[in-house]
Structure 1
Amino acid sequence: MSLSSTASWRLSVLMPVYNEEGTVAQIIQDVLAVPLDLELIVVDDGSTDLTASILHALPADPGDRLKIIYAPRNAGKGAAIRIALSHATGDVVVVQDADREYDPMDFVPMLDQIKAGAVVVYGTRLSPEALRLNQEGDHDKFYLARRLLPILTNVLYGTSITDEATCYKMFRREVLLSIPLRCERFDFCPEVTAKIARRGYRIVEIPIHYHSRTAAEGKKIGWRDAKDAVWALLKFRFFN
């Protein structure tokens, strides 16, 4: 599909999964309930809990919209996203975590932005409107890092975003395929943001729903990932 096309706008949802036995079945159901023409590509990234067993036991989707891929070992979120992307057939792709912190119904207004001409759309948790939308706030221990990363991004790349680390990143598929992605872990986020910005694409943001979970509830990102994100933003400013 060319960048100017207004074709079918099929959405490919890329879902990396690692040790999410408590949420994976429900989040798949949530995604498939979104009223869009979509496919869901789940990559089990070498889970060591019951995630793979749960995925194997899922009933077939009547519309054949669900693809499940089992990676032989845990390689990281970025690696799993690349695997999912290689199986995507939609005009547009979006990343979906399996932990249910995000609401897939937000795909609808995000895709509306693509239909209106955007090439890249991020769902922000941190704009004033998003903070009003999510009234419980977003003040876990990584809140400061989430605030600092977009500031660093804007300084380095001349962007004007409020939430660099958001999971909800939506792209026209051919644009994402044109970018050489190499990061294996959570540094996928700063890598793709940096490379999108360096290529001159404008990142459109819309507010989304968000409910943060704690480490006790299974949150996996840590301070190492925050440091890796800073390093990735600095590195990709000058190197590809």
Structure 2
Amino acid sequence: MVTALKSTLVVMPAYNEEGSVGDVVREVFAKAPGVTILVVDDGSADATSQVARTAGARVARLPFNLGVGGAMRVGFRYALENDFHNVVQIDSDGQHDPESIPALLAALQSADLVLGARFAGEGNYTVSGPRQWAMLALSMALSKVAGTRLTDTTSGFRASGPRAVALFAEHYPAEYLGDTIETLVIAARVGLTVHQVPVAMRPRAAGTPSHNPFRSATYLGRAVLALVFALIRPSAVYRGRPRDDSGIAQRNQLAS
């Protein structure tokens, strides 16, 4: 596990998270010693970058807000070009418990992509209304696509192994919900193995939740549309062999 941690890049998309990102970075270092952390500051207007760097993270600053998908693509490209074998995505608001990182990495021994499932017997995280209906429908549909039972297909707490890192560095979707739903479709279509492990969720440490009752009312329709577009997109788009990263010199232009 020590070797796995040292070859792992933890990517934390962050948008105006100065109130929590520093504590999250320090907690990740404490609970997963040996990992490297890249905070992708997604066009923040506050001191997110400075706080993250002070806490010990590498920082990539985007000139404007691209969303989680755009931020994660930066993280995957950075991982590929700097010889990291694994990428763990974790929120910068403190909701994901870094204590689950070793379990996610251990599951990569038999999978290419591992989801941290919030509804698999760990913790007491719950949702209701249209958001719950959408998650159930998505889980049923994507379980069939992936060929395995998945209970939390919109989880943003996940680990990617070498084959998934190479794939997502080239084909990580930036559309709304594409960073969760479409990534599973992409992975399944190119033959990657998807598993899940139970994880617990916590309240946000700071900042404003990205979902409220009004947004939840439109979540169902958007989620279904995201899945439909992912399924009708030609598979050939993803079937090109991911570029070979052997011989790519380590570069640090993005991070400091």
Alignment TM-score, normalising by the size of structure 1: 0.81
CA distance in 2, matches of 1:7, 1:173: 17
Are 1:138 and 1:212, in contact at CA under 8 Å, matched by a contact in 2? no
Please point out which of 42, 46, 50 is paired with 1:49: 46
Pair 1:109 & 2:103 matched: yes
CA distance in 1, matches of 2:91, 2:98: 10
Structure 1 counterpart SS, 2:156: coil
Matched AA of 2:94: R
Q: Which residue of 1 aligns with 2:200?
A: 209
How far residue 139 of structure 1 moved from its aligned partner, in angstroms, is 3.1
CA distance in 2, matches of 1:41, 1:50: 16
Q: 1:226 to 1:177 in 2, by over 3 A?
A: farther
CA distance in 1, matches of 2:147, 2:162: 24
Q: Deviations over 1:177-219 (max 9, x none)?
A: 22422324442111111111222322111111112459x9511
Pair 1:218 & 2:218 matched: no
Q: Deviations over 1:157-190 (max 9, x none)?
A: 5442111011112111332322422324442111
Structure 2 gap segments, 5+ residues each: 238-256
Q: Which residue of 2 aligns with 1:21?
A: 18
Q: 1:44 to 1:225 in 2, by over 3 A?
A: farther
Pair 1:81 & 2:90 matched: no
Q: Deviations over 1:55-74 (max 9, x none)?
A: 35x15x4xxxx310111011
* Identical-pair percentage: 25
Are 1:156 and 1:237, in contact at CA under 8 Å, matched by a contact in 2? no
Q: 1:198 to 1:143 in 2, by over 3 A?
A: same
Pair 1:151 & 2:140 matched: yes
Of Structure 1 and Structure 2, the greater helix share is in: 2
* Count of residue pairs the alignment pairs up: 222
Q: Which residue of 2 aligns with 1:119?
A: 112
How far residue 227 of structure 1 moved from its aligned partner, in angstroms, is 3.6
CA distance in 1, matches of 2:207, 2:133: 20
Q: Deviations over 1:40-84 (max 9, x none)?
A: 11110011233234335x15x4xxxx3101110111110011111
Are 2:25 and 2:52, in contact at CA under 8 Å, matched by a contact in 1? no
Q: Deviations over 1:127-171 (max 9, x none)?
A: 2x22xxx13x41356334333321232245544211101111211
Please point out which of 86, 93, 111 is paired with 1:92: 86
Structure 1 counterpart SS, 2:9: strand
RMSD in angstroms over aligned alpha carbons?
2.6
CA distance in 2, matches of 1:196, 1:176: 11
Are 1:120 and 1:203, in contact at CA under 8 Å, matched by a contact in 2? yes
CA distance in 2, matches of 1:55, 1:211: 20
Farther off after superposition, 102-111 or 220-229: 220-229
Structure 2 counterpart SS, 1:161: coil
CA distance in 2, matches of 1:124, 1:94: 14
Q: 1:36 to 1:181 in 2, by over 3 A?
A: same
Are 1:186 and 1:225, in contact at CA under 8 Å, matched by a contact in 2? no
How far residue 230 of structure 1 moved from its aligned partner, in angstroms, is 2.2
Pair 1:138 & 2:132 matched: no
